[in-house]
Structure 1
Amino acid sequence: MKRLVAYITTGYPDKAFTIDLALALKEAGVDSLELGIPFSDPVADGPVIEAANLLALQKGFKIADLLEVSEAVAPHIDTLWMGYFNPFYHKGLDFFLQMARDFGVSGFIIPDLPHEEGGAYRKRFDDHGVALIEFVAPTDSRERIAEIVEGARKFIYMVAYAGITGAEKSESLEEVIDAVRAHTDTPLYIGFGVDEKTAKEKARGVDGVIVGSAFVRILLKENLTHTQKIDKITALARTIKEKINE
């Protein structure tokens, strides 16, 4: 059974909604949840997730909101924190690692922390029993992929194309998949541009998909009630889960 990871922006439209949506996604078949930490300059994300980030910040998002949401949802669904390095650095990585261990958060996804720089922090992650998710991309050489995936924990995040999330782009990934498989048994998940139209094709050869913009796009619809947003997002999650396992 291929797995579905869902990204949602923490605190938008509010933290109570985030908790309700997270628990509903679990019931809809989502296997793991990325709680996105709103940041003013999300360089790896496209306009949809960027808009949600900015709106959450405008509504007063604080790290305390992330912690409250995580405490409520992590006992029920495998939870990761997805954020840029600045907030982790500013408040202290050890603080976040301790909170993650306390709440049962299983991993961090930090797209602007290159593998080489991440090496300086990897032991601290290991000591807390928290995974630092590694990225591979079509632009990586086989030699670099071998280095990246050595010791990778939980899963490897394969970027579907060079660019930002939510774009409708496609690149041949067979060589990347082969290079990863040659060096590790760690599950390989694909992200960037995955939605109900692309999920089946993108899931070929990998162990799961990561979906963000397709969910957040619904989150941003101001004409929908909270209940309608949850209904539409969970229905989409069910559709994608079915498609990747056809």
Structure 2
Amino acid sequence: MKKLVGYITAALPENNFTVDLALNMKDAGVDILELGIPFTDPVADGPVIEKANLIALKNGFKLKDLFEVSSKIAPEMKTLWMGYANPFYHYGIEKFFAKAQEFGIKGAIVPDFPFEESLKYNKLASHYEQALISFVAPTHSENRIKKVVEHSKEFVYMVAYAGITGSGVEEDLSDIIDNVRKYTKTPLYIGFGVDEKTAKAKAKNVDGVIVGSAFVKHLIDDSLSNSEKIQRITAIAKEIKEKINE
């Protein structure tokens, strides 16, 4: 059974909604939740998730909101924190890992951590039972992939193209998939540009898909009520989970 990882922005529009949405996503087939930490400059994300980040910050998001929703979600479904390096450094990386362990969070996705930088924190992350998710991209050489994936835990995040999330670019990923498989047995999930239309094709030869913008675009749709947002997002989750496992 191929896995579905779903990203949502924490505390958007508010904490109780985030908890309700996450648990409904679990029921709809989402296996792992990426709980996004709002940040002013989400460099790896496209305009949809960037807008969601800015709205959450404008609404007054604080790390205490992340901790509150995490304490209610993580005991019910596998949850990772997705955020940028600045909040981790500002709060203190070890303190972040300790908080994550306290709530049952399984790891962190930090797209602007250079690989060499993340190596310094692998031992610390392991001490707090956290995984630092490894990224591979179409621009990586076989030697680079070997170095990255030999430290991988939970899953390897394969970037579908060189760019930002939410784009519709297509690239031939067969070589990168072969190289990842050569050097690790860690599951390989593909992200960037995955939605209900592309999921089936993108899931070919990998172990799962990572979906963000396709969900978040409904979070920031002011024409929808909160219940309608949950209905739209869970319907998409169900469709994607079915398509990747056809």
* Smaller-chain TM-score bracket: over 0.9
Task: State how far apart, in whole Å, the 2-side matches of 1:122 and 1:130 are.
Answer: 9
Question: What is the root-mean-square deviation of aligned Cα atoms in Å?
Answer: 0.5
Matches within 5 A, 1:43-62: 43-62=43-62
Alignment of 1:155 onto 2:155: yes
Cα deviation per residue 1:85-136 (whole Å; 9 max; x = unaligned)? 0000001011110111111100100000011111111110011110000000
Indicate the residue corresponding to 1:243 in structure 2: 243
Measured against aligned partners, the alpha-carbon deviations of 1:5-59 in whole angstroms (never above 9, x if no partner) come to 0000001111111111001001101000000000000000000000000000000
- In structure 1, what is the equivalent of residue 188 of structure 2? 188
What residue number does 1:231 align with? 231
Structure 1 runs of 4+ with >3 Å offset: none
TM-score normalised by structure 1 residue count: 0.99
Cα distance in structure 1, aligned partners of 2:113 and 2:243: 32
Unmatched runs of 5 consecutive residues or more in structure 2:
none
Show the counterpart of 1:134: 134
Match of 1:26 in 2: 26
Deviations 1:188-239 (A, max 9, x none): 0000000000000000000000000000011111011100000110000000
Q: Distance in 2 between matches of 1:53 and 1:15?
A: 14
Q: Output the CA distance in 2 between the equivalents of 1:235 and 1:75.
A: 23
- The residue aligned with 1:122 is 122
What are the Cα deviations for residues 162-207 of structure 1, in whole angstroms up to 9, with x where unaligned? 0000001110000000000001100000000000000000000000
Task: Please state if 1:79 is matched with 2:79.
Answer: yes
C-alpha distance in 2 between matches for 1:184 and 1:120: 20
Q: Distance in 1 between matches of 2:115 and 2:20?
A: 34
Q: Which whole-Å CA distance do the structure 2 matches of 1:29 and 1:150 have between them?
A: 29
Q: What is the distance in 2 between the residues matched to 1:235 and 1:114?
A: 36
**Which residue identity lines up with residue 174 of structure 1 in the other structure?**
S
Question: What is the alpha-carbon distance in structure 1 between the residues aligned to residue 29 and residue 120 of structure 2?
Answer: 36
SS in 2 for 1:193: coil
User: Aligned letter for 2:85?
Assistant: F
- Mark the runs of 5 or more structure 1 residues left unpaired by the alignment: none
